[in-house]
Amino acid sequence: MNKLLIICLFPLCSFAQSFNVINDYKVDYAVASKNGRQLIAWRSFSNNDKNYLLLLDPQNFNTNIVPAGEVSLTKSEFADVAKLFVNTAYIKAINAVRKNDLGLQNVGIDHALPPEKGINLTIDLCPSHKPLDRIIFTSLFTEFAKIEQPVPLAISVSGRWILKHKDDLNWLKTLETSNQLDITWVNHSYHHEVNNLPLAENFLLARGTNLDVEILENEKLMLKNGLIPSVFFRFPGLVSNQKIVEQLLDYGLIPIGSDAWLAKGQQVNNGSIVLIHGNGNEEIGVQDFIKLLQQQKVNIKNKQWLLFDLRQSLE
């Protein structure tokens, strides 16, 4: 997992296609150079006998996919990448996570610094037999249609939700391709297991958890469904410990917490990373968010309360 590849990029293309036959999906850190601009490659895989790389712009957290055949590769060490990109938003975010209080809950980036008044909206899609709370998104269109187009938000998606909610996922993708939503797709683990044990033995901290499955298999499933994974990860239940956070960073992922989980009654402030569940299991949080939109109706109209792209807020 510590192997590094140095890449020289030629014409850079991003693929929003579905990859249906993914093989050899793995962590491959890399430096990518194109016309004096440097990027990071952090995943490699093959699909239908063609090789691809998942690339990251460390300045703005944007990710995209390019065919590996368009690049030349030179091996190196990840430490060299960290040194090379030490002044970028990506490495600064990783360092900020390491300095954070590594308790059992809400580790990671939980507050951002947008340039104006507003919030970063994150919607979690944990496994559920209930349909998507589409009212969240229709309410956003009602309030922001003439203010922000597309509406930026982050969606944390679990593999088991994807598998059982293809129609809802396709609806979200349609909103994205029609330029109504600008979605940052956040890895929320494949299984999102929950048990009755204390937090220190629950969620991803449960005995027998396989992080390669929870992280990499979920990314593969996202790619198979036409989603480009971001470098962000949300721990199920916001539960973690120091060991698993360090392991997560080894995958090149940045944990995203929340300082405003609405269903828990937490106060929303400017720059808050707001958390609601859109999987049908958190009616209180959804209702509270709709009330919040109504309370800010005048400010939204006057562009004094906006939704911000998580990537740009951290940039």
pLDDT confidence of 181, banded at 50, 70, 90? Answer: very high
Question: Is 210 inside a domain boundary?
Answer: yes
Per-residue pLDDT at 9 exceeds 60? no
Parallel, antiparallel or unpaired: strands 22-34 and 37-47? antiparallel
Bigger pLDDT: 114 vs 242: 242
Residues 110 and 168 in one domain: yes
- 253/233 Cα distance (integer angstroms): 6
Residue type, 193: E
- The pair of three-digit structure tokens given for residue 40, joined into one six-digit string: 């990071």
Q: Is residue 128 part of a domain?
A: yes
**Is 247 found in the same domain as 168?**
yes
Q: Give strand pairing partners of 54.
A: 43, 65
Query: Does one domain contain both 11 and 103?
Result: no
> Are residues 76 and 105 both part of a single domain?
no
CATH number of residue 116's parent domain: 3.20.20.370
Does residue 302 lie in a domain region?
A: yes
Task: Dump pLDDT digits (tens) for 187-216.
Answer: 999 999 999 999 999 999 999 999 999 999
Per-residue pLDDT averaged across 22-37, rounded? 86
What is the rounded CA–CA span in Å between residue 315 and residue 312? 5
For residues 265 and 116, state if they share a domain: yes
Instruction: Answer yes or no: do 132 and 215 share one domain.
Output: yes
Can you give the residue range of the structural domain that contains 293?
92-314
pLDDT category of residue 72 using cuts at 50, 70 and 90: low
Among 156, 129, 110, 136, residue whose Cα is nearest residue 283: 136
Per-residue pLDDT, 35: 65
- For residue 116, the model assigns a pLDDT of 84
Question: Is the same domain home to 194 and 62?
Answer: no
Residues 42 and 158 in one domain: no
* Beta strands 3-9; 118-125: pairing state: unpaired
pLDDT on residue 114: 81
Q: Is residue 264 part of a domain?
A: yes
In a domain, 112, yes or no: yes
**Element containing residue 291 per DSSP (H, E):** helix 283-295
Determine, yes or no, domain membership for 157. yes
pLDDT score at 38? 85
Is 80 exceeded by the pLDDT of residue 241?
Answer: yes
Q: Using the 3D structure, point to which of 59, 82, 105 is the last residue of a domain.
A: 82
pLDDT mean across residues, the chain? 91
The amino acid at 61: F
Does residue 87 belong to any structural domain of this protein? no
Q: Residue 79 has what pLDDT? A: 78
* pLDDT exceeds cutoff 70 at 30: yes
- Contact of 120 with 156, CB cutoff 8 Å: no
What is the number of other CB atoms lying within 10 angstroms of the CB of residue 199? 15
Asked if residue 52 lies in contact with residue 67, where contact means CB atoms within 8 angstroms, the answer is yes
pLDDT over 50 (residue 42): yes
- Whether residue 174 has pLDDT greater than 60: yes
Binning pLDDT at 50, 70 and 90, where does residue 264 land?
very high
pLDDT tops 70 at residue 244:
yes
Are residues 119 and 57 part of one domain? no
- Tell me: do 155 and 211 sit in the same domain: yes
Statement to judge: residues 233 and 154 lie in one domain: yes
Band (145; pLDDT cuts 50, 70, 90): confident
The pLDDT assigned to 99 comes to 86
Check residue 2 and give its pLDDT: 47
- Considering the domain architecture, whether residues 26 and 175 belong to the same structural domain is answered as no
Distances (CA, A) of 166 to 131, 170, 262, 304: 10, 6, 27, 36
Among the candidates 82, 116, 140, a domain finishes at 82
Last residue of a domain, one of 53, 82, 111: 82
How much is the average pLDDT of 240-265? 96
* pLDDT for res 33: 75
Question: Lowest mean pLDDT: which of 99-103, 122-126, 256-260?
Answer: 99-103
Q: Report the number of distinct structural domains present in the chain.
A: 2
**239, 104 in Cβ contact below 8 A?**
yes
